[in-house]
Amino acid sequence: QLQLQESGPGLVKPSETLSLTCTVSGGSISSSSYYWGWIRQPPGKGLEWIGSIYYSGSTYDNPSLKSRVTISVDTSKNQFSLKLSSVTAADTAVYYCARHCDIAVAAYNWFDPWGQGTLVTVSS
């Protein structure tokens, strides 16, 4: 059964860079059928897609995050990572990673399964 687990600091200072890693188990991140995505959810609010990456390293991200996003993949470790630069309090959220059935490689669009999520708070 495929499982994803987010890891990283729970507290980041304003203007610094948020860094998270997602470890995939029970399956290979090098599958040609899927992308791997990051989604976040501010406390008490809705969901926002951050970006997605293919095992080859091809990425794309949400234009609303104004080029602050870097997503990378390490196939040898079955992991992918997120860096979000110049964070502010507005970036405080639960960050989820998920397998992404992307329209670039499939006929549909969905995120499944999701990791349990990790709360990142931006505060000095």
The CB-of-21 to another protein minimum distance in angstroms stands at 17
The CB-of-60 to another protein minimum distance in angstroms stands at 6
Question: Which one, 55 or 114, has the nearer CB to another protein?
Answer: 114
* Token pair recorded at residue 16: 């610094």
Question: Which one, 37 or 81, has the nearer CB to another protein?
Answer: 37
b/e map of 24-38 (b: 16 or more CB within 10 Å)?
Answer: beeeebeeeebbbbb
Taking phi over 0 as left and psi of -120 to 50 as alpha, with beta for the rest, 48 belongs to: beta
Between CA 24 and CA 27 the distance in angstroms is: 7
Question: Which one, 12 or 98, has the nearer CB to another protein?
Answer: 98
The CB-of-42 to another protein minimum distance in angstroms stands at 12
Interacting residue ranges for another protein, rule: CB under 8 A: 37, 46-49, 52, 60, 62-63, 96, 98, 101, 103-104, 107-117
Paired with 2 in beta bridges are none
